[in-house]
Every structure is written in C-alpha cells, then in structure tokens.
Amino acid sequence: MSLLERMSLRSTLHEMTLPDGRLLNPDAPGVLVTGAAGEVGHAILRGLGAGGACEVVATDLRPLSVDGVACVEGDLLDPALLESLFSGRIGLVIHLAALLSSAGERHPDLAWKINADATWTLMRKAMSHAESIGHPVRFVYPSSIAVHGRTPSDLHPLREDEALSPQTLYGVTKLAMEEAGRWLSTECGRMAGEKPGATLDFRSIRYPGLLSAETVPSGGTSDYAPEMVHAAVRGEIAKCFVPSEARLPFMTMPEAAEATLALASAPRSALKQTVYAVGGFAPSAGEIESELRQRFPELKVEYEIHSTRSRIVDSWPTDVDDSAAQRDWGFQRGLDLASSLDEYLIPGIRQRHSSCQSSGTSTQRSL
C-alpha cells in the first residue's frame, strides 16, 4: 500500500465535508489555501484533491497551476486580492504563506510583513467574511517548533506550553500569531457585548522540520536534513551546516499535510487547546548520515558549521510531546527515519531526479 493510500486522505476529507453537522457550512464548502506554491502547499492541494468534495482556491506570490483548483497569483497584503479570494463560498482557510527562519533573520521587515501583518489581515478578513455568510470561518494556522527557545538542559520532548522564548523572528511571529488567533477567536468583541468565536474558529498545528521528496527547501534552518537526503540520493557531496550531534524532530511532507487536514476536520468540541504540536522521528544529523550511508556507502558529508544557524537549531526542541494531538483529534506518528527513506524519500527523489535529468530542468527549490 502506498503512503498516500495508507494516509486515507479521502476519508479525512469526507469527514471534513460532513463534520458533526456543524463544522463546515454546506453553503460555504470552499477552502482557501495561501502559500500554495510552497512545498507544504503542494501536499495539501493533493490531499484536498483526493477528497474531491470541496471547491479549492489557491493563492501564492508565485505563479501556480493545479487542475481543478482556482489559482490566484498575488500579495496577501493587497486588499483587492483579499477581496477576490473571499468572493466565493470559503468556509475554511489553510494559511501556509510564510518566510522561514533563516530567511527571516536575513530579511526581518519582510518576515514581519509576511508572517505577522499578512496573517492578521487574513484572519480579520476571514472574520468579516464569516459575518457575511452567517457562519464561523475555520482558520488552520501552521506554526512551527521555532516558537520554542530551549535551554541546553531541556532535552525532553517539549509540550506546547514549554520553553516559549523563540530565538528567531520567524519563531516570534509564529508565536505571536498563534496568540493573536486564539485572542480573535475567544476574546475579540467581548468588550462590545458580542459573543467571541462567532466568526473565527482558529486552530494551529506546530510542524517539526519537514522532509519532502519533491522539493529541496530554502530559507529554513531545518534544511540541513532534507539537503543531506537529496544530495545523498543524487550522488552529490552533502554539506551539513550543523554538527553531527544536532537533533531535531522531523516528519514527511505527506504526513504533515495529512495531519493538517485531520486538524482541519476535527470537531471544535473535541479540541481542548488551540495549538497542537506534531512529531514523527527525532534523529541527530549524524544518525541521518549513518542511515543514508547504509543505503549509499559512497556518501560523503562535509560538516561546515554555520554558527548562527546551528545556534538556532540548538534552541529548538530535540523532540516534541504530541500527546494532546493524539488525544484530541487522533493524530498518530507514522513513518520512522528508515521507513521514510525507503518508502517515500529515496524512491520519490530518484523519480524526480531522473525526470528532471531527462527533461533538462533543475530540481525545484521552494520556500
């Protein structure tokens, strides 16, 4: 059985369209996906397509074309673009657009604009859209392990509320928008005598580092792991900017998409908190190297430590405690490192690499 079949996205999406009678308004079955041209976006759009039951609008700054999806190119801070995105029957927003951690440290003003201003504007627009359709809009906000800032002795899997002192601006904006979404959906309007939560149903999923067979990421700080895997499969020298002991949690991209859609489908009444961490496996860079070497004995890894990026990795959890996600919406950890490599990453990268070689194009990089 393939990974996608195992994930049974179809049933996840089926539940999403018929959620305990209240989750999505049958009159607003549309799903808006922002940042849809990025690597998580591809996987989410594929999952939504597998469900087949909803109308999907996808937007990104970059051009995008996906069968059966209304694709809109533009900047989320452009009011005309926002208006056009919500002109349909949107009942669910999956807001993926973000500038990742290393890119954010290099371009702080842009990081604030994309990660904070655009997120706030989109949530407010979702709320006014909800008023016009007479039903709350569900807003799913992918966040990150970057919200944590651990001390060297915090080596246990971190719970959602532990060690929240982010070192990067990306982590600061992710944490701030988790809190802004919680406030908008549970407090906003109370002072004016309104009932909070009537317009925004906000929930957030914190991703670990993600591993995709389709794209090599850029701009992130967990990138050393996907870069090493892609280089190994392509027979290239792998460069690693953290020491071999550096350890982070990771999961595969299809599993991250599956978890996001599962959280999107969960009944509000089941959710006991706003933010959920999810994990998969948590290898050190050296353990990734040795798993790869078992499969590619010629592999050469050059450790060229980048002190700033390495410090960022050391501030992130060595693993996360995802028991709340398991308890509230049935999240389960899936593939481990070895099976991710054998069942998903190596075959997928090989296939993509050989088709790129035969068509003369380069492997896509994506934020």
Residue 224, CA distances (Å) to 5, 183, 277 in order: 29, 35, 21
CB of residue 98 to ligand AKB, shortest distance in Å:
8
CB of residue 218 to ligand AKB, shortest distance in Å:
10
What dihedral angle (degrees, nearest 10) is formed by the CA atoms of 15, 20, 26, 29? -40
Residue 242, CA distances (Å) to 99, 285, 289 in order: 21, 7, 12
Amino acid code (one letter) for 203: R
Number of residues that bind ligand AKB (CB under 6 A): 11
94: Cα separation from own chain's centroid: 10
Residue whose token pair is 């792991």:
225
x/- letters, 64..103, toward ligand AKB (CB under 6 A): ------------------------------------xx--
x/- letters, 187..226, toward ligand AKB (CB under 6 A): --------------------x-x----------xxx----
Q: Is residue 315 a contact point for ligand AKB (CB under 6 A)?
A: no
CB of residue 115 to ligand AKB, shortest distance in Å:
11
CB of residue 5 to ligand AKB, shortest distance in Å:
27
Q: With respect to ligand AKB, which residue has the nearer C-beta, 30 or 220? A: 220
CA distance 126 to 198: 12
Q: With respect to ligand AKB, which residue has the nearer C-beta, 220 or 280? A: 220
CB of residue 280 to ligand AKB, shortest distance in Å:
13
CA distance 80 to 91: 19
Tell me the three state secondary structure of residue 324: helix
Tell me the three state secondary structure of residue 202: strand
Member of 141, 170, 250, 276 binding ligand AKB (CB under 6 A): 170
CA distance 328 to 141: 17
Q: Is residue 145 a contact point for ligand AKB (CB under 6 A)?
A: yes
Q: With respect to ligand AKB, which residue has the nearer C-beta, 85 or 312? A: 312
CB atoms under 10 Å from CB of 36, counted, come to 26
Chain position whose Cβ is nearest to ligand AKB: 220
Note the residues at the interface with ligand AKB (CB under 6 A). Answer: 100-101, 144-146, 170, 207, 209, 220-222
